[in-house]
Every structure is written in C-alpha cells, then in structure tokens.
Amino acid sequence: MANINLVNLTKSYDNTEVLHHIEGSIADGEFIVIVGPSGCGKSTLLRMIAGLETVTSGEVFIGDKMVNDVEPAHRDIAMVFQNYALYPHMSVEQNMAYGLKIRGLPKDEIAKRVREAAEILEITEYLSRKPRQLSGGQRQRVAMGRAIVRDPQVFLFDEPLSNLDAKLRVQMRLEIRKLQKRLGVTSIYVTHDQVEAMTLGDRLMVLNAGYVEQFGTPVELYQCPETVFVAGFIGSPSMNFLSVTVADGVLTLENGATVAFSNGHSGTALLGVRPESLIANPDGAVRLKVEMVEQLGANTLVHGHLEGTGTEMVASLPGIETVESGTVLRFDAPQEALHLFDAATQKRLET
Amino acid sequence: MLKRVHFPPSVLPYLLVAPQVIITLVFFIWPASQALYQSFLIEDAFGLSSEFVWFENFVYLWNDEIYLATFWRTGWFSLAVAGLSMSFALVLAGFADRVVRGAMIYRTLLIWPYAVAPVLAGALWVFMFNPTLGIFPYFLEFAGIDWNHYLKSGQAMLLVILAAAWKQVAYNFLFYLAAMQSIPKTVIEAAAIDGAGPIKRFATIIFPLISPTTFFLLVINAVYAFFDTFGIIHAITQGGPAGSTTILVYKVFNDGFVGLDLGGSAAQSVILMFLVISMTVVQFGYVERKVEY
Ligand SMILES: Nc1ncnc2c1ncn2[C@@H]1O[C@H](COP(=O)(O)OP(=O)(O)OP(=O)(O)O)[C@@H](O)[C@H]1O
Ligand SMILES: [Mg+2]
C-alpha cells in the first residue's frame, strides 16, 4: 500500500508546456479521480505517474520513494487502459497470468490468484477464450482482472468505462468502487465524465488546460467551487452565470432587478447559481423568460433567458410541470446558494 | 435486397482490360506454353531437327544426380537467405521501432539496398571479397583465414548467401517495421507495466503478434532466393566453383544457353514454374485465412 505525492510536476512536449506545476498528495487507500475536459492533460498526468511519460520537471513519489527514473515495471503499479490493451494472442487466463509469470511466482500461486480474480469479476467461464471472442464489457473485466491479480500498490485507470454503453457504465462504476474499497488499494482514475467523477472519487482533482483548478471532495467542489471553471464543470445541468454589480449589500442584475446580498465586495462580479437552487416564488427577483422545457420525469428543466437580456438561464423545477414558452417565471435563491466570482480572475470571492 | 444496376452492353470494359490481357498473353502465357512444348522435345546435337519425346526430359532429370543435388542446394540456399535476411531485418526493425529521434533518416538509409540492381549488388560484393584486391580478405588474413571464393566452394556459397540476403534485408525490414508499428502502443505499455523488459516484450508480445508477416515474408523470400538471385550469382561466381553455387534457376540458364540442351532446360523451367505456383498458392492460403492468434 502506498501514498502518492506529486511535487511541482511539469510536462512539456517540444517546448509547449501541457501540464503546469501540478501539486497533490494522495493518502494510502484513497480513490482519486482526475477529471477535466478533453485535452486538458489528464492522461499525460496519469502516464507520468505510471512511468510511461518522462517527467520534464518536478517529482513523483510513490510510497515515499522518488520514482522519476524508475521503470514502469518497478513501480509496482497496475493500469487499466481505455482500449483495454489486452494481449490479443493470449487467452484470458494467460492475459491475467502474464505479469505474475514474469515476476516468477510459482505456478499454483498464479493459478490460485487468477481463479480468485476471475471469480470476483465473474469471468470464470471465459478463461480459455481469446480477447477477440469477448464483448466490450467482458474485455473490460479482463483488463480489471489483469490489474487486480498483480496485487499492486497503486491502480491507475485511464477512462476504462468510456467504451461501454450507459447502463453497463453505471454498473461497472459501482463495481469498481466496491472492489477498490474491498482491496483498499490507492487508486487514480481519469475520466472526463463529471458524474462518474462525483460518484467514484474520495477526492477529485479538476484539471483545466494543464492547471489544477481545485482538488477536494465531491461535496466541497459542489458547494464551494474555487473557480468559475469548477463551478460550471461540476453539476448537471451546469451552473447559471449572471453578470452583476455589487454595492452596499445589494446585487444588481443586468436587467436592473436587485437582490439583497451581504458580502463585503463591491463592483462588478460574476454570480453563479445552480439551476436546482432556484426556487419558484411569485415575488422572486429573478425573472426568467421561458423558451424551452425539458421533462425529465423527476424534475423539469426550464430553459430561457434572464428577462430583458441575452443571458441564458436554466432552472430546475421539482416534479412534472407544464410551462408555456414565452411565460415569465420568477425565482428566488437562498443566500448560501449564491456563488460570487471575480469577473477578471475567475476566482471565488469569499464572504 | 441489393438493387441490381444494369448497364447497357458496351465495349469499354473490354478495352480497359485489354492491355493487361495482352501483356499477360505475350509475356507470360505464350513463353510459358513455349517452354512447356519445348520440354517435350529433344533436339539433335546440331540443332537441326527435334523429336517429340513426351516426358523423357523429365525422366532424365529425375535420374540425374547433378540435378537432384542442385535441387537440395537450392533448398538450403533459400532457407539460409530467407533466415539470414529475415532475422537481420527483424533485429533492425526492432531497433528502428524504438528510435524516436532521426527515425526517418535510419529508415531511408535502410531501404536503399533494395534499390540496387542484383547484378550491381553482386559486383559490389565481388569487389569487397576479391581475394587479391578486396578489403575483407585483407582483414580475414589477420584472423588466419585464407579467403578465395574462386577456389573454395564453401566460401563461394557463403558469399552468394551473404550478398543475396543483404539485398533482401531492406524489403523485409519495411514489412517488419510496418507490422510492428501496427501493434497498438498501449499493448506494449501494458506489458511494460506488467514487468516485461524490452527483450521479454519482443519475445512474448511483439514477435507472436507479427507472425502473419513472418509467414508472408518466408514465402516471398523463398521465391526471391529461387529466382531473383540469378543476377547476384551470375556476377559473383557464375555458379562455380565446380557448380557449387549453381541453383535451379542458374542451371536452367547454364544448360539451356551455355550447354544448348534446350529440351532439358525447358523441362527444368517447367518444374520451377510449378514450384513457384505452389508457393504462391500456399501464400494466398495463409493470407486468406490469416494466421490465427
Ligand atoms: N506526444 C505528444 N506530443 C505533443 N503533444 C502531446 C503529446 N501527447 C499529448 N499531447 C498534448 O498534451 C495535451 C494533453 O493531452 P492528454 O492526452 O493528456 O489529454 P486528456 O486530458 O487525456 O484528453 P482526453 O480526455 O481527450 O483523453 C493535449 O493538448 C495534447 O495535444
Ligand atoms: Mg486521455
């Protein structure tokens, strides 16, 4: 078992820096999810921890040992790839046994571990098949099996579920979570899906364009986003952002409506409010002109504009509601659900 | 259901395939049938008349010790050329696959020998190994080896094998490199994480995964050694000394154009033709089925 430390980690390809000064410490047994949009450097960061990419500057520690110059083979890690990367010419059993054979474990020990892992993952009946004779979901399990038989110090996952259909993805997500808790192995999981990130991670590292935007628990990220990016990235549907001016404890929206708000700041700012935090109130200050309604069953999403402006807004009403497009709905939001950001630096303005 | 599209009858398709058909007829079918016909004839010593003898030429070859020896010699010559050039190409491709900087330069340089004509390749090796002028015999002398491939049949064979293999390395290299680069990178990375070092990865992952290419190249190289090495042998040893580097295709030339035994030589070429046809069939069999893994 091992903790992981990333110290001032930087990666450049041909003089373009793609990861900037990444810092983070991961406790033993923790499940960390690295999440961010495509191209932000998630895979690169994971591959640096695995030893598949060189470190441009900074240090990677696995269990107190600096591993910058240690071969992947000697880092005692196991990785699950997005395309599974199974050995096509070997049977499922041989795929799982490969790493153990190389480490020179005795035959009966290998057989025992493979059998146990196959039972956990319910792939016992496919042991003699070749990867191409398996479905995507079964291949995914084999890739997991290949990782767990090794009993490594760290699991690394690079979008392992993105090739599966939605239902299987949810099911596998839960299984990975249970498996990780049961084995207690430190894990780092890369995904671009924020729902996956929120449900899996003990803590989330939100990456954007090679910078760590925030590193915290799912609840922290949801309740107290540090930047506009995190606020917009976490939560679905995404947070509404409205330009406001603040003066003397009053927020003035673009269309002139005012909301009482006790915050020490003054000047222009960006107000963030989640669709589910908007509460319908006939006297509410926020007026939304409805354009389109999405019925999701459990709730109803109302899309439109802040009345009199071009600023798009979404509100979420509980249950099934019928709303004509063109009507104006009025909302309020509790003070604690309002997030204020500096318009220039995009950083959170604390009260 | 697919809809059948009907075109009005037209001469255009026939015109379009005509050049290919004509070339095949003139340069393959016609000479092949000539050779087949010729192989049933025996000419008299002055070339004035010929007699139709059915399979007598073949029966004669079947009982000819020299011909049978040539047959076996060709067999192991091909194996040696294929084995040597393929294993050398495999090693080079293995390294080139790992090179990151300057990869294009290595690849371009490695491909050059393929562009050299067989006779020129032969001439090159003749100069390098000339017993009196060549650079290699000069060095070999220090090692106590007296090099003279004009007199020693073992050395002569070694030299033609080296020259023939050298020329084919580039071709094999290209195919091996392409095959290695088509292996997903993550599979190799997974093996690295599983603890396999470069040599172990090559032996347990890369080599098994490129086995279809190995089978393909084996056939191609055998066909090459059977036929295309003519120019090299002609330039280096002319089949000598004492016929020790005469392979089947060289014997066809020697018996027919030097010895003027047209019937016997034609019979030999018919045998060669069937050999290459059967090798091609084997190869297509593999390509169709793909090697299972
Ligand atoms: N070998 C390379 N050479 C140059 N640039 C690279 C290389 N590999 C990645 N990059 C760049 O580094 C950045 C991060 O890439 P990375 O693959 O880590 O993104 P990602 O977050 O995993 O994206 P995705 O979600 O699409 O997988 C990208 O801008 C990419 O263009
Ligand atoms: Mg990626």
Complete domains list, chain A, with CATH: 4-232 (3.40.50.300), 237-341 (2.40.50.140)
- What is the structure's pLDDT at B139? 82
Å from B190 to nearest chain A CA?
7
Q: Indicate whether residue A191 lines ligand 1 (CB < 6 A).
A: no
Q: Quick one: three-class SS letters along chain B? A: CCCCCCCCCCCHHHHHHHHHHHHHHHHHHHHHHHHHHHCCEEECCCCCCEEECCCHHHHHHHCCHHHHHHHHHHHHHHHHHHHHHHHHHHHHHHHHHHCCCCHHHHHHHHHHHHHCCHHHHHHHHHHHHCCCCCHHHHHHHHCCCCCCCCCCHHHHHHHHHHHHHHHHHHHHHHHHHHHHHCCCHHHHHHHHHCCCCHHHHHHHHHHHHCHHHHHHHHHHHHHHHHHHCHHHHHHHCCCCCCCCCCCHHHHHHHHHHHCCCHHHHHHHHHHHHHHHHHHHHHHHHHHHHCCCC
The label of the residue with tokens 């430390």 reads: A5
Helix (H) or strand (E) holding A134: none
From B197, B208, B209, residue closest to A73, measured CB to CB: B197
CA-nearest residue, atom 8 of ligand 1: A44
CA-nearest residue, atom 22 of ligand 1: A43
Mean pLDDT computed over B249-256: 82
Q: What single-letter amino acid sits at A24?
A: G
Report whether A58 contacts A21 (CB < 8 A).
Answer: yes
- What is the structure's pLDDT at B2? 57
| Residue B50 within any structural domain of the chain | no
Taking the centre of ligand 1 as the mean of its atom positions, its distance from the CA of residue A35, in whole angstroms, is 14
| Residue B211 within any structural domain of the chain | yes
| Residue B52 within any structural domain of the chain | no
Domain hosting B109: range is 66-290
| Residue B132 within any structural domain of the chain | yes
- What is the structure's pLDDT at B289? 61
Entry pTM: 0.81
Å from A51 to nearest chain B CA?
9
Residue % of chain B over a pLDDT of 90: 19
For chain A, say whether B291 makes contact (Cβ under 8 Å): no
Q: Indicate whether residue A38 lines ligand 1 (CB < 6 A).
A: yes
CATH number of the CATH domain containing B282? 1.10.3720.10
Structurally, chain B folds into a number of domains equal to: 1
CA-nearest residue, atom 29 of ligand 1: A39
CB contact under 8 A, A73 and B192: yes
| Residue B19 within any structural domain of the chain | no
For A333, the 3-state DSSP assignment is: coil
Reply yes or no on whether the pLDDT at B47 is more than 80: no
Å from B189 to nearest chain A CA?
7
Whether complex ipTM tops 0.95:
no
Q: How confident is the model at residue B122 (pLDDT cuts 50, 70, 90)?
A: confident
CB contact under 8 A, A72 and B293: no
- Rounded to whole angstroms, what are the CA distances from B48 to A316, A323, B39, B268? 106, 108, 17, 22
| Residue B21 within any structural domain of the chain | no
| Residue B247 within any structural domain of the chain | yes
Reply yes or no on whether the pLDDT at B293 is more than 60: no
Residue B115, both tokens: 């562009």
For A334, the 3-state DSSP assignment is: coil
Mean pLDDT, rounded, of chain A:
91
For chain A, say whether B189 makes contact (Cβ under 8 Å): yes
| Residue B37 within any structural domain of the chain | no
